Structure 1
């Protein structure tokens, strides 16, 4: 007892107690630091996510190049990727070849090609029929496992499995101009997917919020037949219609009540385009003119595309990138509160008989590099989250990425295929007038004339429409000072009732003389606006091989003003297609731009059917 009391009564100087306490704290913090370093080894600052937290999972391995490069001739490693991630994959290829590589004693030369994911999936499922074995890819790297699943489930023994190696991640988001996001309060509180689709259906919302100068709520979606963003947008429509964003696998996707609800959701779509890049190209053009609201209120895209747009990079065709200054008004990436789908950029080594053991080894060597620290640094520098979820802080700031993600489960192959295949049934219907140039230049060539090629292409394009799409045909030319002729050939009406008449009269068209381009577009766009229907995508498909060559009055400035004014309240989209090398490309671009539509290039006449097919599948 006395010994304990003596110890308790010992009195130490105050500074000793302070030092002792500090030592304990340092020991605790040091232990925590050591523990943290054991779990998350130190790495480049870019290896942290947007919130500053380290990525989950084990540390990345380091690249292990060969000590000396392999001997030529090099192994040609063909890699097929999507339009969206082609720049990243090319950067990975450059990073890979920057160091010595040796597979079976040979050097490796990656060659990257790009194609819309949906189109690529069809070619993969068909084992690249008709392509020489040496040209077929050994690696397929679409931007989502959705396409691996769809291709793997196709009949005929697909050369791809349902899962691949994820090399990058990008969330599918709703992108909106910042002022519009703030007007809805979505900059403070993210909406659910159901709320997004409900807002899209209220096309007069801007007027009700005191922004009548913004026109209608213009909501764009890419085609789910070819685009990941489009497929995930339609999947989100099914989730919203079925009452569960993440429960699509448990739904009867063929049930009539659900399909009807999805069809109602799709009515909020202003129009579809082949890829998100098409929308962002036009948004940037509208931004340059100071009125981004004239073209876009919201569009569903991948977040990496928002980063591209906000730093001044856009693409008219999804393939060729154009860099400029940042836009006047950046886009805000909105992450619906019930979760987002993730484009996981999976790489799959194909299993076709054209992929021998040497090619397979080269493919595996490339993919091993892609998931190393060095490969993932390339991924993050390209605007993506790493496979582990880390993102470069500068990228996150420019793209306005959310710090955390709430991923939605990707549906199974059967559900994805059913959703994709349902698009022709559930999409918003088109009210389209095909407007065909029948000037004499359309027949001034030997053999099959441009006019005959155009007739064949239009007839083929009609196969992409449903019976309750409303389709019509008009043509334009004139003789001397005479009136525009022949004008309306077949009035716009449900295709199920007028298809036979339309094709018959299409085949009977004859070339006349002049090209009253401005008069024709002005007249028929005005007529379409007068008969505007909210529940349809109102449009004109203009196909011309020349320029405004006529004695009739008219000017491009006045036409552009008319189309822009119509686009504000009764948008009639004038999709223009330049046919043949003599087409006035600049004028046709301006007509499409001012109406809020897209220009398509078929100046190579042999591509007319392909290009027109791409155009009409955007409805």
Structure 2
């Protein structure tokens, strides 16, 4: 007799059929769950610390539930500290939140958003905001990555900074390239691995071999890992590539000499560092406006939202003030390396400081709850981010060249993140820097501590950024009448470990002379740096001036700009300019920096000189 089948044989009890069907369904669902876990090991976006309750892409978000009537004044002041990168999104969330009536403990709520470089904010949080009045301290900290929650460690109120926040948005850390360059390498259709990205950065003659010699050297930029999330994740990618496992940093001995040496080799491909990714994109846009973005940029590691901003014509010189304009002539392409990308998860945490009162805590909870509703996530999408469910606006994705899906890398543990940051002075590409100081008479024409003395003090402190293997020198410029440039080279560029004492002694001995031969000084010393160009160093001049060019010697700004642009093609000497004092010739210093591919810094308020110069030296 043939075998009976439960589904068709009426002699089988019906419950057996139902049980079998249920078992099959469970096996199918279980298999699908395992498969999803293998493909998408972290739905929250790259192993970043989150609240553990991230809804799936198909699960409906909660709806916003504003109050029927707004609470009574005085409103609860809700201070929110964000990063430079996500500040616009957070302000848009705050505007959407207050557009509806809110009532927390029967009070209305007034959010106030401030922004700061993420690494700087992390240090302030960890130090409990020294010198900041309690009423001005934030209740919510919203960096652009959970990495900074981990790095901040001990923090507000003597207790730990919360190590897990509520993720509000996603933005992948990508390699951004001018579109024609990405196509020339074939990376627009076949993404490289991280190792291939770094090998390409080391190959400075690649454009010549591919028939694009007019593009010059391969210029690869990274932001500082001490300040920026994209810079920190770029360093993590360097370690991952050097160690053969971009997602396995927690299992590596990051202090192993052999690994550190490999990371040093990877970092040699960096053309130069800048404090923030906004600096790179600002200068890329300047180069694009001049008709040749390749003169400044081949590739830079940034967050994908910044690519969207750039491609729609929005850039920022300082990361704070956004400058909208027409779209660039050549858009950037976002490259997602095939072995995965880190994802900035924009976590919101309520700080545990004693300055956060019960009402502020309730208001903070209410704001964060709004941000993850459907209405809040619509604001996130409109701001250029992926939602917590991974959704992205179609128009944003098209403009920013976003990948449809992400392959997220796990966020390293705190110990690994701190270890990588601590290693940066050791593994970063070395600098070959000449400090060039204006010592004209105006530098001493003020009572009390003169501008010249403040400049000496600031330079002396900035020298603490360098290590013995950097090559540092000092020059100064002025002249009397139509006389020669003086004093000229004060301490020649040499390894810092051998010339530090001489440099400091000569720096302290500088005296003011008379006039300001700005063009002559920059032309001569940038030319000398180009003649002695070293490809394994970041070749640069740090120019500090408080006045205008007043020389009678031949030469003008146009000729100087042409010289610097020509040098930048094959022997780039970055002239970072710092306007010191209210009479500094800002337009001229801006042009000198632009032509050389460097950044201009504003210290027209002399009290900010030390702070600004400290930020400047993170650029190499």
Q: What is the TM-score with the length of structure 1 in the denominator? A: 0.91
Matches within 5 A, 1:268-417: 268-417=269-418
- Give the aligned partner of residue 38 of structure 2: none
- Give the aligned partner of residue 264 of structure 2: 263
2-structure distance, mates of 1:470, 1:525: 15
2-structure distance, mates of 1:240, 1:394: 33
- Give the aligned partner of residue 48 of structure 1: none
After TM superposition, give the deviation of residue 58 of structure 1 in Å: 2.1
1-structure distance, mates of 2:538, 2:327: 31
Whether the aligned pair in 2 keeps the contact of 1:198 and 1:265 (CA below 8 Å) is yes
- Give the aligned partner of residue 509 of structure 1: 510
After TM superposition, give the deviation of residue 238 of structure 1 in Å: 0.3
Question: Per-residue displacement from partner, 1:510-540 (whole Å, max 9, x unpaired)?
Answer: 1111100000000000000000000000000
2-structure distance, mates of 1:162, 1:468: 37
After TM superposition, give the deviation of residue 152 of structure 1 in Å: 2.3
Q: Which runs of 5+ in 2 are unaligned?
A: 1-54
- Give the aligned partner of residue 202 of structure 1: 203
- Give the aligned partner of residue 190 of structure 2: 189
Whether the aligned pair in 2 keeps the contact of 1:434 and 1:472 (CA below 8 Å) is yes
- Give the aligned partner of residue 424 of structure 1: 425
- Give the aligned partner of residue 518 of structure 1: 519
Is 1:123 the counterpart of 2:102? The answer is: no
SS in 2 for 1:448: coil
After TM superposition, give the deviation of residue 315 of structure 1 in Å: 0.2
Question: Per-residue displacement from partner, 1:250-287 (whole Å, max 9, x unpaired)?
Answer: 00000000000000000000000000000000000000
1-structure distance, mates of 2:188, 2:407: 17
SS in 2 for 1:482: coil
1-structure distance, mates of 2:109, 2:421: 37
- Give the aligned partner of residue 231 of structure 1: 232
- Give the aligned partner of residue 49 of structure 1: none
Q: Which runs of 5+ in 1 are unaligned?
A: 1-53
2-structure distance, mates of 1:341, 1:334: 13
After TM superposition, give the deviation of residue 617 of structure 1 in Å: 1.4
1-structure distance, mates of 2:151, 2:160: 12
Whether the aligned pair in 1 keeps the contact of 2:157 and 2:353 (CA below 8 Å) is no
2-structure distance, mates of 1:157, 1:367: 24
Aligned-residue Cα RMSD (Å) equals: 1.1
After TM superposition, give the deviation of residue 129 of structure 1 in Å: 1.7
2-structure distance, mates of 1:117, 1:405: 24
2-structure distance, mates of 1:372, 1:537: 47
2-structure distance, mates of 1:388, 1:581: 50
Matches within 5 A, 1:61-80: 61-80=62-81
From the superposition, tell whether residues 590 and 166 of structure 1 become closer, same or farther in structure 2 (CA, over 3 Å).
same
Whether the aligned pair in 1 keeps the contact of 2:125 and 2:155 (CA below 8 Å) is no
1-structure distance, mates of 2:63, 2:582: 52
Q: Which moved more, 1:145-154 or 1:554-563?
A: 145-154
- Give the aligned partner of residue 45 of structure 1: none
After TM superposition, give the deviation of residue 56 of structure 1 in Å: 1.7
Whether the aligned pair in 2 keeps the contact of 1:127 and 1:158 (CA below 8 Å) is no
- Give the aligned partner of residue 538 of structure 1: 539
Whether the aligned pair in 1 keeps the contact of 2:517 and 2:551 (CA below 8 Å) is yes
2-structure distance, mates of 1:246, 1:279: 27
Whether the aligned pair in 1 keeps the contact of 2:81 and 2:138 (CA below 8 Å) is yes
- Give the aligned partner of residue 247 of structure 1: 248
Whether the aligned pair in 1 keeps the contact of 2:156 and 2:351 (CA below 8 Å) is no
Whether the aligned pair in 2 keeps the contact of 1:221 and 1:271 (CA below 8 Å) is yes
After TM superposition, give the deviation of residue 157 of structure 1 in Å: 3.9
1-structure distance, mates of 2:353, 2:158: 10
Whether the aligned pair in 1 keeps the contact of 2:158 and 2:353 (CA below 8 Å) is no
Whether the aligned pair in 1 keeps the contact of 2:267 and 2:428 (CA below 8 Å) is yes
Question: Per-residue displacement from partner, 1:87-146 (whole Å, max 9, x unpaired)?
Answer: 000000000000001111111000000001111111111111221111100000000000
Whether the aligned pair in 2 keeps the contact of 1:153 and 1:413 (CA below 8 Å) is no
2-structure distance, mates of 1:455, 1:238: 37
Question: Per-residue displacement from partner, 1:346-404 (whole Å, max 9, x unpaired)?
Answer: 00000111112111000000000000001000000000000111000000000010001
SS in 1 for 2:619: coil
Q: Which moved more, 1:259-268 or 1:145-154?
A: 145-154
SS in 1 for 2:576: strand
2-structure distance, mates of 1:77, 1:63: 19
SS in 1 for 2:587: helix
- Give the aligned partner of residue 475 of structure 1: 476
SS in 2 for 1:262: helix
After TM superposition, give the deviation of residue 158 of structure 1 in Å: 4.7
Question: Per-residue displacement from partner, 1:50-94 (whole Å, max 9, x unpaired)?
Answer: xxxx96252101100011011111110000000000000000000
- Give the aligned partner of residue 497 of structure 2: 496
Is 1:618 the counterpart of 2:619? The answer is: yes
Whether the aligned pair in 2 keeps the contact of 1:159 and 1:352 (CA below 8 Å) is no
Q: Which moved more, 1:77-86 or 1:351-360?
A: 351-360
Whether the aligned pair in 2 keeps the contact of 1:434 and 1:474 (CA below 8 Å) is yes
Question: Per-residue displacement from partner, 1:157-185 (whole Å, max 9, x unpaired)?
Answer: 45511110000000000000000001001
Question: Per-residue displacement from partner, 1:209-236 (whole Å, max 9, x unpaired)?
Answer: 1100000000000000000000000000
1-structure distance, mates of 2:325, 2:349: 34
Matches within 5 A, 1:74-93: 74-93=75-94
SS in 1 for 2:70: coil
From the superposition, tell whether residues 565 and 477 of structure 1 become closer, same or farther in structure 2 (CA, over 3 Å).
same
From the superposition, tell whether residues 499 and 158 of structure 1 become closer, same or farther in structure 2 (CA, over 3 Å).
farther
SS in 1 for 2:548: coil
2-structure distance, mates of 1:67, 1:220: 51
SS in 2 for 1:548: coil
- Give the aligned partner of residue 33 of structure 1: none
SS in 2 for 1:67: coil
SS in 2 for 1:422: helix
